[in-house]
Structure 1
């Protein structure tokens, strides 16, 4: 609550800061030149646009993550030939830059916009190590199953308070299998997209784990006797 009140106070205070038309009339600008600016000179980049400002260049390895806080842009940027790595928040050479996969792109935008803070209504995506979406994504009070590109897989989902053991792995595997155009394999998924504790091949069913893999030494039964499985 204290943090909320602090942000509310700062936000309201900022809202009260208005630059009148003659704000720059009595302002004396310090000289900003290439000699005293380790970076680029931004025309009218100072407070109320009265003076020029210096946008400093950061060196390789310097920390570059400064969120756009309360409308005040950062005055430091990675220097020429460098970019800000959104995973390490350090300036790295452009030769190391790789195209971000869909989830990593959204996470990068979220981090730059919200500073990584879980703001109300904002969706912070969950990504795997390759920058794709994890099978389960939650927003608000609902969790859904998605493809690795983030497309919702229809028919599978659960309320957040019911999704503790929800994996969406069955829904994801089924979706990817259908994208190949192949037919013949059946997937037995729960309503939240997780694997049932059994899977059937043809008319033979056996107990499986959360990834749909057959548990070693599990009993095999005819599909008509599936209720007799004790998985």
Structure 2
């Protein structure tokens, strides 16, 4: 409104300061539905003279992040933490408190991931690594590799971090099958020089 530009679109807000579900352009006469971020809901734009779409049905329900964010904003209390949501309404992996300057990683439920809290002035935490904790197989493999013991068994993990069904001990030549927890399947151990078992 401060720009005083003729024909510019002026968003309509409700009594709580949120976007009204139906937005209309006074200059063009077009109306459309918007989500809680004010973004147009695809397929809801109507030309002048036609009643606006049923925006209650068109607008998806608010996500947990959007609800918490809107609730925190509505309180209007200085220093209150306001969650940051992405365009899809999910929690952003890094959350920061504007009042304290601390940043931390959260999971998809908005819960803080332990050990990621960083004070003001420090680089933001690496939430990609924090959000993907290592699997049991990856932990065992990494522990075995760190020890650098010649001839020790190193578990083999797949791309998702699960145990490969076939495990082989490089220094002994033995191979065997394992279940999803890495436990050896009875009767599958084959000695060196023999074909590995069909896991």
TM-score range, shorter chain: 0.3 to 0.5
TM-score norm. by structure 2 comes to: 0.43
TM-score norm. by structure 1 comes to: 0.38
Greater helix proportion: 1
